[in-house]
Amino acid sequence: MATDEEASKTYPEMIMEAIEALNEKNGSNKSAISKYIETKYGELPPSHSSLLTAHLARMRESGELLFIKNNYFRPGADVPPKRGRGRPPKPKPELPTGAVLPQHRPRGRPPKPKDPLAAAVAKATAGLPRRRGRPPKAARSAASGTAAPAAAAAGSGVKRGRGRPPKVKPALVTDVV
């Protein structure tokens, strides 16, 4: 029933052909377009109705078809092209020939310039007097020699738990006389 050329047509081509062939004054509705395509092209996929609906919606959104009172029309030559959603882009200024486009700036705050003098000063003062504030815990236990022996004697290598330690109970001594 359908030739190879007709079978290879896409849905938008078949829809446009159906609207032209039906040539109704008030436009063609979806069911009339569907019936025309079914009679002309015969074997269609089982999802024909959903494919037709999706393509009609896409063509309506792109401006290829007008949709008025549940009927589809081909837009005339006097109809302006359909705009997309959102704000239209700003017109780009005309650049003279030979002009170079400015570099695109990356998003976010620009990084601070690296000062080679500050890096040299930090390296030179690394072994000088200690910094302000409390030193890190690991450095404190190694640096202070007076508090470490008492703590080391109490629990050599045993890690203390959180909170207050339990009260030490004295050993019961029984005196036999």
Q: How does pLDDT run across 115-126, given as a tens digit for each residue?
A: 888 888 888 877
Note the pLDDT tens digit of each residue in 20-51.
Answer: 899 888 889 999 999 999 998 888 888 999 99
DSSP string, 122-175: HHHTTTSSPPSSPPPHHHHHHH-TTHHHHHHHHSSSPPP-SSPPPPPPPPP-PP
Residue 55 predicted with pLDDT over 90: yes
As a whole number of angstroms, the distance between CA 3 and CA 16 comes to 18
**Residue 157 pLDDT class (50, 70, 90 cuts):** low
Percent of the chain with pLDDT over 90: 14
**Residue 139 pLDDT class (50, 70, 90 cuts):** low
160 or 162, which is more confident: 162
Question: 3 is written with which tokens?
Answer: 């030739």
Residue 160 predicted with pLDDT over 70: yes
List the domains of the chain with CATH numbers: 11-73 (1.10.10.10)
| pLDDT for res 2 | 53
- The verdict on pTM exceeding 0.75 is no
